[in-house]
C-alpha cells in the first residue's frame, strides 16, 4: 500500500505545480512578443525617417528574437521589414529573397495586410531590375488582396505601380489610365504624399510623349505639394525631372540649375540611385557644351553606382549616353561596342522607348563608320519602334538623321521626303502653345514663391511692430501714473513738455524710417523694371517663333491643297457635283480624287490612318500613287487599281506583317464611270457607295436596296498589309439620268453631339442621304453642312469629314 500512496502523492504535486509553470511560460512569451513588436515599431519609424541602416539593424534584431521565441508573426514581419529596407537601398535581389521568405509565415496566420505589402514589394523589386512581366504578376496578386480587405491606400499604390509597368513597356495611354485612377483614390483619401508621387509619374509619361507643356504642369503641381510636405527626397527627384524638360527644349542653363540643386539634396540624403541619375544628366549638359572629358567623368561616377546596385534599366540609359559621347570623341568603334550592350539590356527588360533611341544612335554610329546601308536600316528600325509607342521626339530625331543618311548615299528624293516629314512633325510637335505655356507655368511658380516670401516677411514685421507698440504704451502709462501720484502740477507741465519733445524725436525717427523704406521701394522698382524688360524680350522671341511655326504649318496645308483637285477640275470632269470636305485640323487625313482617261472618268474618296500631320502624309501618298496609275494607263478596273494601290503602299511603307511594322494605310471608295453608256464600276475597301436611283438592281448579299436607295458593300480589308490579302470585289451598274451617287468617309457618322453627346451613327447618316436625295441637288451640300453643324454643336470635331455627291446627266 505504501508505494501506491507515494505515487498518488507525486501525481497530486505535479497537478498543483503545472499551472504555475504554464503561467510563467505564457508570461515570458507575452513579454517577448511585446518586446519584438516594440522593436519593429521603432524600426518602422527609423525607415520613415530615411535612417535605413538603423532600421535594418533593429529589424534583424527582431528577427533573431522571433526565431528564438518561435513567434511566427515576428518572423514574417521582420523579414518583410528587412525586404522593404533592401528595396529602398537598391538591393533588389536580396529584397526579393527576404520578401518571398516572409510570405509563408504571414499567410499561415492570415495577415493579409502584410501579405499585400510583401507582394507589392516583390513586384517593385522585379520592376526595378527590368523584369516587367514578373512585376505585373505580383502587382495583380497584391491588388486582389488589397481590394478584398478594402485597403484603399494599398490599392492606390499598386495601381500606380501597374502604371509604371505599362510606362516601361511604352503603352502610355494605359499607364495614364492607371495613374489617374491612383490619383483619384489618393485625393479621396487626402494622401498628399502619394498625390505628389503620382503627379510626377504623369509628368514623366507626358515628357516621354514629347508633350513638354503638360509634363512641366504636372511636375510643378507635384513640387508644390512636396514643398508643403518638406519631403527632400521627392523634391530632389522633381528638380531632376523639371531639368530634363528644360534640356529637351534647349534651355541648358535652366536645366543645369535644376540638376545641381537635385544633386545637392540627394548627396545630403546619401541617395545613391538618385545621385547616379543626376550625374548622368549633368554629364549630358557638359557633353552638349563641348566639355567631353568632364561629361565622361560624371558618366563614370554614375556607372559605378548603377553597377553596384544592379540597376539594369538605368545602366542601359547610361550606356546610351556614353555611346553618344564616344562618338563625339571620334571613337565610333567604342561607341558601337557600348551601344550594343545597351541594346541587349533594353531587349531583355522590354523597354521600347530605350530600344528606339538605341537603334537611332547605333544607326548614326554606323554612318560615321561608313556603313551607310546598315545605318539607314537601324534608323528605320528606331523610327518604327518609336512610332508604335507614340514617342514623337524620337520619330523627329530619326527622320532628321535619315534625311542626312539618304543625302550621303545620293538618294535625293528619299532625303527630301524624310526632311519634309522632319520639318512638318517638328513644327507640329513644337506647337504654338508649347513655349507660351512653359514660360507661363515657370513665371507663375516663381511668382507664387515670391508672394509667399513677401507675405511671411510682412507678417513678421507686423508682429514685431505690434509688440513694440504694446511695450512702448505700457512703459508710457506706468511712467505717467507714477509721476502723477508723486509730483505737483508744475512737474506735470514739465512732463508734458518732455512728452512733446519725445514725440518730436519719434517723428524724426519715423521720417528716417520712411526715407529707408522709400530707398527700398526705389530698388524694388528698378528690379521690377529689369524683370519687365526680360519678359518683353522673351515675349518678342516667342512671337518670332510662333510666326515661323505658323508659316510652316500653313505651308504643309498648301502642299496638300495643291495635290487635291481644284473646284474647276472637279466641275470639268464630274459636271454636276457637290463636295462637303471638313478636315479636323489644318492638314487632314481624308482626301478626294478625280481623273479622266480615254472615255472614262474616275473619282474616289479615301480615309487615311490618323488625321492631322500623319494623316496628311498618307493622303499625299495616296493621291500621288493614284495619279501614277492613271499616267501609266493601269486603270482598266477599280478592283485591280485597289490591288495595285495596296501593293504600292506596302512597298512604300516597307510593310511585312511583323509586329514592329508601320500599320498605316487607308480605306477607299473608288469608281470608274463611262458617260457615254452610263456604265458605273465600283470597288471599295471598308467604304461603301450609296446610289439614289429610279431603277434599282435586285438585292443581294453585298447589295442592299431600300426604296430607291442602293448601298454597295465594300470588302472588309484596308489598302495596306492585312491578315487577309484577297482580291477586291467589283460592282457593275447602268445608271439613269437624274440618279445621284454618294461617296463618304466614316467621319460624319462618328461625330459626337446631340442632346446626349453620342455618335451620329451610320444608320442615321444613311437615312439622311435617303431624305436629302429627294431634295433639289443644288441644295444638298447645305443640308449636309447644316445637319452636321447642328449635331456637333459646341463639341470638338471627332475626325476628318468628307461627303461627295454626283448627279448623272
Average pLDDT, the chain: 84
389 in a structural domain: no
pLDDT level of residue 12 (50, 70, 90 thresholds): very low
Which pLDDT score, from 0 to 100, does residue 450 have?
41
What string of DSSP letters covers 59-77? Answer: HHHHHHHHHHHT-HHHHHH
Which pLDDT score, from 0 to 100, does residue 647 have?
93
- In this structure, the answer to whether residues 597 and 717 fall within a common structural domain is yes
Q: Which domain holds residue 588?
A: 569-807
What b/e sequence results for 656-686 when a residue is b if at least 16 CB atoms lie within 10 Å of its CB, and e otherwise? eeeeebbbbbbbbbbbbbeeeeeebbbbbbb
Q: What is the mean pLDDT of residues 107-124?
A: 92
pLDDT level of residue 23 (50, 70, 90 thresholds): very low
Q: Which residues contact 105 (CB under 8 A, 6 or more apart)?
A: 72, 73, 75, 76, 79
- In this structure, the answer to whether residues 644 and 555 fall within a common structural domain is no
- In this structure, the answer to whether residues 551 and 601 fall within a common structural domain is no
Dihedral sign of CA atoms 324, 328, 329, 333 in order: positive
Looking at mean pLDDT, say which of 58-72, 105-119, 453-467 comes out highest: 105-119
- In this structure, the answer to whether residues 755 and 624 fall within a common structural domain is yes
Q: How far apart are CA 580 and CA 744, in angstroms?
A: 9
Q: Which residues contact 554 (CB under 8 A, 6 or more apart)?
A: 586
- In this structure, the answer to whether residues 696 and 602 fall within a common structural domain is yes
148 in a structural domain: no
Q: What is the mean pLDDT of residues 90-95?
A: 86
The H or E element that residue 10 is part of is helix 2-48
- In this structure, the answer to whether residues 483 and 630 fall within a common structural domain is no
- In this structure, the answer to whether residues 657 and 770 fall within a common structural domain is yes
Among 46-55, 170-179, 269-278, 732-741, the minimum mean pLDDT is found in 46-55
Among 344-348, 411-415, 512-516, 578-582, the minimum mean pLDDT is found in 512-516
247 in a structural domain: no
| Residue 632 confidence (pLDDT) above 80 | yes
Give 786 or 393, the one with higher predicted confidence.
786
For the stretch 500-514, pLDDT in tens is 667 665 665 566 556
Which pLDDT score, from 0 to 100, does residue 227 have?
84
Could you tell me what percent of the chain has a pLDDT over 70?
83
Q: What is the mean pLDDT of residues 591-603?
A: 96
Exposed/middle/buried for 292, CB within 10 Å: 0-12, 13-18, 19+?
middle
Which pLDDT score, from 0 to 100, does residue 586 have?
81
Find, among 741, 757, 740, the residue nearest to 791 by Cα: 757
| Residue 698 confidence (pLDDT) above 80 | yes
- In this structure, the answer to whether residues 658 and 732 fall within a common structural domain is yes
pLDDT level of residue 520 (50, 70, 90 thresholds): low
For the stretch 465-497, pLDDT in tens is 567 767 777 776 776 787 777 777 768 766 776
For the stretch 294-333, pLDDT in tens is 989 999 998 898 888 878 888 888 898 898 889 889 898 9
- Whether residue 611 contacts residue 586, with contact meaning beta carbons closer than 8 Å, is answered with no
Helix (H, G, I), strand (E, B) or coil at 690: strand
- In this structure, the answer to whether residues 521 and 668 fall within a common structural domain is no
Question: Cβ–Cβ contacts within 10 Å for residue 456, how many?
Answer: 10
- Whether residue 376 contacts residue 407, with contact meaning beta carbons closer than 8 Å, is answered with no
Which pLDDT score, from 0 to 100, does residue 309 have?
81
Among 40-49, 119-128, 368-377, 614-623, the minimum mean pLDDT is found in 40-49
| Residue 65 confidence (pLDDT) above 60 | yes
- Whether residue 250 contacts residue 430, with contact meaning beta carbons closer than 8 Å, is answered with no
Find, among 738, 736, 749, 757, the residue nearest to 787 by Cα: 749
Which pLDDT score, from 0 to 100, does residue 62 have?
85
Phi-psi region of 742 (alpha: psi -120 to 50; beta: other; left: phi over 0): beta
218 in a structural domain: no
Q: Which of 507, 536, 559 is the last residue of a domain?
A: 559
For the stretch 551-579, pLDDT in tens is 666 676 787 888 899 999 999 999 999 99
Q: How far apart are CA 591 and CA 615, in angstroms?
A: 10
Which pLDDT score, from 0 to 100, does residue 782 have?
96
For the stretch 94-103, pLDDT in tens is 989 999 999 9
Which pLDDT score, from 0 to 100, does residue 91 have?
84
Q: What is the mean pLDDT of residues 400-417?
A: 83
- In this structure, the answer to whether residues 683 and 725 fall within a common structural domain is yes
Looking at mean pLDDT, say which of 356-360, 540-544, 596-600 comes out highest: 596-600
Q: Which residues contact 780 (CB under 8 A, 6 or more apart)?
A: 578, 772, 773, 805
Which pLDDT score, from 0 to 100, does residue 19 have?
43
What interhelical angle do 252-269 and 272-288 show, nearest 10? 160
Q: What is the mean pLDDT of residues 593-612?
A: 92
Give 538 or 634, the one with higher predicted confidence.
634
Residue bearing cell 509597368: 165
SS (H, E, C) 614-676: HHHHHHHHHHHHHHHHHHCCCCCCHHHHHHHHHHHHHHHCCCCCCCCCCCCCEEEEEEEEECC
Could you tell me what percent of the chain has a pLDDT over 90?
40
Q: How far apart are CA 236 and CA 275, in angstroms?
A: 10
Number of domains in the chain: 2
| Residue 584 confidence (pLDDT) above 50 | yes
416 in a structural domain: no
Q: What is the mean pLDDT of residues 107-130?
A: 91
Distances (CA, A) of 783 to 163, 771, 774: 47, 10, 12
Exposed/middle/buried for 643, CB within 10 Å: 0-12, 13-18, 19+?
middle
588 in a structural domain: yes
Question: Cβ–Cβ contacts within 10 Å for residue 575, how many?
Answer: 13
462 in a structural domain: yes
Which pLDDT score, from 0 to 100, does residue 451 have?
45
SS3 helix, strand, coil % of the chain, rounded to 5? Answer: 70, 10, 20
End-to-end CA distance of the chain: 136
| Residue 671 confidence (pLDDT) above 80 | yes
- Whether residue 698 contacts residue 731, with contact meaning beta carbons closer than 8 Å, is answered with no
- In this structure, the answer to whether residues 500 and 602 fall within a common structural domain is no
For the stretch 322-357, pLDDT in tens is 988 898 898 989 989 999 988 998 888 888 888 988
Which pLDDT score, from 0 to 100, does residue 232 have?
86
Q: How far apart are CA 391 and CA 388, in angstroms?
A: 8
Which pLDDT score, from 0 to 100, does residue 560 have?
80
Q: What is the mean pLDDT of residues 510-533?
A: 65
Q: How far apart are CA 693 and CA 714, in angstroms?
A: 19
pLDDT level of residue 425 (50, 70, 90 thresholds): confident
634 in a structural domain: yes
Residue 597: strand pairing partners? 600
Find, among 611, 602, 631, 597, the residue nearest to 745 by Cα: 611
What interhelical angle do 612-631 and 638-652 show, nearest 10? 130
Residues 416, 418, 421, CA angle at the centre, nearest 5°?
110
Give 436 or 186, the one with higher predicted confidence.
186
pLDDT level of residue 401 (50, 70, 90 thresholds): confident
Domain at 573, CATH number: 3.60.40.10
Residue bearing cell 527588360: 349
| Residue 446 confidence (pLDDT) above 60 | no
Q: How far apart are CA 114 and CA 124, in angstroms?
A: 15
Among 180-194, 523-537, 692-706, 757-771, the minimum mean pLDDT is found in 523-537
Which pLDDT score, from 0 to 100, does residue 659 have?
60
| Residue 436 confidence (pLDDT) above 70 | no
- In this structure, the answer to whether residues 647 and 721 fall within a common structural domain is yes
Give 466 or 276, the one with higher predicted confidence.
276
Q: Which of 493, 528, 559 is the last residue of a domain?
A: 559
Which pLDDT score, from 0 to 100, does residue 20 have?
41
Find, among 244, 262, 241, 322, the residue nearest to 287 by Cα: 322
Question: Cβ–Cβ contacts within 10 Å for residue 468, how many?
Answer: 10
Q: Which of 500, 527, 559 is the last residue of a domain?
A: 559
Phi, psi of 702 (to 5 degrees): -110, 5
Give 390 or 87, the one with higher predicted confidence.
87
Amino acid at each position: 500500500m505504501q508505494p501506491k500512496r507515494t505515487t498518488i502523492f507525486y501525481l497530486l504535486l505535479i497537478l498543483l505545480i503545472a499551472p504555475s509553470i504554464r503561467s510563467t511560460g505564457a508570461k515570458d512569451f507575452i513579454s517577448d512578443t511585446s518586446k519584438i513588436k516594440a522593436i519593429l515599431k521603432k524600426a518602422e519609424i527609423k525607415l520613415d525617417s530615411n535612417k535605413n541602416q538603423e532600421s535594418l539593424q533593429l529589424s534583424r534584431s527582431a528577427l533573431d528574437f522571433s526565431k528564438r521565441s518561435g513567434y511566427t508573426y515576428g518572423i514574417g514581419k521582420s523579414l518583410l521589414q528587412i525586404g522593404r529596407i533592401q528595396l529602398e537601398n537598391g538591393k533588389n535581389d536580396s529584397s526579393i529573397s527576404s520578401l518571398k521568405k516572409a510570405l509563408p509565415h504571414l499567410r499561415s496566420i492570415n495577415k493579409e495586410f502584410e501579405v499585400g505589402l510583401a507582394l507589392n514589394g516583390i513586384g517593385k523589386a522585379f520592376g526595378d531590375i527590368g523584369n516587367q512581366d514578373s512585376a505585373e504578376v505580383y502587382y495583380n496578386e497584391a491588388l486582389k488582396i488589397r481590394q478584398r480587405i478594402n485597403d484603399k491606400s494599398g490599392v492606390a499604390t499598386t495601381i500606380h505601380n501597374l502604371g509604371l509597368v505599362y510606362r516601361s513597356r511604352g503603352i502610355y495611354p494605359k499607364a495614364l489610365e492607371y495613374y489617374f485612377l491612383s490619383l483619384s483614390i489618393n485625393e479621396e483619401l487626402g494622401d498628399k504624399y502619394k498625390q505628389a508621387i503620382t503627379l510626377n509619374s504623369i509628368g514623366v509619361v507626358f515628357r516621354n510623349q514629347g508633350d513638354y507643356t503638360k509634363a512641366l504642369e504636372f511636375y510643378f503641381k507635384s513640387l508644390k505639394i512636396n514643398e508643403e510636405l518638406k519631403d527632400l527626397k521627392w523634391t530632389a527627384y522633381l528638380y531632376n525631372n523639371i531639368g530634363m524638360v528644360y534640356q529637351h527644349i534647349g534651355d541648358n542653363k535652366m536645366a543645369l540649375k535644376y540638376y545641381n540643386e537635385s544633386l545637392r539634396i540627394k548627396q545630403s540624403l546619401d541617395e545613391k540611385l538618385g545621385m547616379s541619375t543626376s550625374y548622368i544628366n549633368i554629364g549630358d549638359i557638359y557633353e552638349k557644351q563641348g566639355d567631353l572629358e568632364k561629361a565622361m567623368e560624371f558618366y563614370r561616377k554614375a556607372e559605378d553606382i548603377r553597377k553596384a546596385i544592379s540597376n539594369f534599366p538605368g545602366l542601359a540609359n547610361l550606356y546610351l549616353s556614353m555611346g553618344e559621347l564616344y562618338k563625339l570623341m571620334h571613337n565610333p568603334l567604342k561607341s558601337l561596342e557600348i551601344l550594343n550592350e545597351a541594346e541587349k539590356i533594353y531587349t531583355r527588360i522590354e523597354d521600347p522607348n530605350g530600344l528606339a533611341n538605341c537603334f537611332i544612335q547605333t544607326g548614326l554610329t554606323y554612318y560615321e563608320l561608313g556603313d551607310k546601308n546598315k545605318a539607314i536600316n537601324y534608323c528605320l528600325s528606331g523610327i518604327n519602334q518609336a512610332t508604335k509607342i507614340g514617342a514623337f521626339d524620337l520619330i523627329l530625331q530619326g527622320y532628321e538623321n535619315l534625311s542626312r543618311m539618304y543625302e550621303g548615299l545620293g538618294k535625293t528624293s528619299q532625303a527630301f521626303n524624310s526632311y519634309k516629314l522632319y520639318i512638318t512633325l517638328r513644327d507640329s510637335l513644337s506647337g504654338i502653345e508649347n513655349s507660351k505655356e512653359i514660360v507661363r507655368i515657370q513665371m507663375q511658380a516663381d511668382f507664387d514663391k515670391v508672394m509667399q516670401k513677401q507675405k511671411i516677411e510682412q507678417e513678421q514685421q507686423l508682429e514685431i511692430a505690434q509688440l513694440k507698440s504694446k511695450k512702448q504704451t505700457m512703459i508710457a502709462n506706468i511712467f505717467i501714473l507714477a509721476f502723477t501720484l508723486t509730483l505737483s502740477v508744475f512737474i506735470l507741465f514739465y512732463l508734458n513738455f518732455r512728452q512733446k519733445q519725445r514725440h518730436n524725436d519719434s517723428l524724426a525717427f519715423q521720417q528716417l524710417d520712411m526715407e529707408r523704406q522709400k530707398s527700398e521701394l526705389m530698388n524694388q522698382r528698378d528690379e521690377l523694371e529689369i524683370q519687365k524688360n526680360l519678359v518683353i524680350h522673351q515675349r518678342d522671341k516667342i512671337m518670332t517663333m510662333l510666326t515661323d511655326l505658323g508659316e510652316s504649318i500653313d505651308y504643309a496645308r498648301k502642299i496638300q491643297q495643291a495635290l487635291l483637285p481644284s473646284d474647276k477640275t472637279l466641275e470639268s470632269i464630274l459636271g454636276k457635283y457637290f463636295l462637303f470636305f471638313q478636315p479636323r485640323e489644318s492638314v487632314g487625313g481624308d482626301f478626294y480624287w478625280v481623273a479622266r482617261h480615254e472615255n472614262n472618268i474616275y473619282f474616289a474618296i479615301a480615309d487615311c490612318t490618323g488625321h492631322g500631320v500623319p494623316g496628311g502624309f498618307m493622303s499625299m501618298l495616296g493621291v500621288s500613287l493614284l495619279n501614277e496609275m492613271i499616267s501609266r494607263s493601269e486603270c482598266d478596273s477599280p478592283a485591280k487599281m485597289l490591288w495595285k494601290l495596296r501593293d504600292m503602299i506596302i512597298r512604300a511603307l516597307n510593310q511585312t506583317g511583323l509586329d514592329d511594322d508601320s500599320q498605316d494605310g487607308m480605306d477607299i471608295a473608288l469608281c470608274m464611270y463611262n458617260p457615254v453608256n452610263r456604265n458605273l464600276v465600283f470597288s471599295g475597301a471598308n467604304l461603301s457607295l450609296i446610289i439614289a436611283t429610279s431603277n434599282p438592281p435586285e438585292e443581294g448579299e453585298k447589295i442592299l436596296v431600300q426604296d430607291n436607295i442602293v448601298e454597295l458593300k465594300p470588302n472588309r480589308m484596308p489598302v495596306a498589309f492585312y491578315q487577309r490579302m484577297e482580291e477586291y470585289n467589283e460592282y457593275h451598274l447602268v445608271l439613269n439620268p437624274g440618279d445621284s451617287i454618294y461617296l463618304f468617309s466614316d467621319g460624319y457618322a462618328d461625330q459626337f453631339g446631340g442632346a446626349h453627346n453620342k455618335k451620329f451613327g451610320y444608320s442615321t447618316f444613311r437615312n439622311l442621304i435617303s431624305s436629302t436625295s429627294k431634295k433639289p441637288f443644288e441644295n444638298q451640300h447645305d443640308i449636309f453642312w447644316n445637319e452636321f453643324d447642328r449635331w456637333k454643336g459646341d463639341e470638338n470635331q471627332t475626325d476628318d469629314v468628307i461627303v461627295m455627291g454626283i448627279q448623272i446627266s
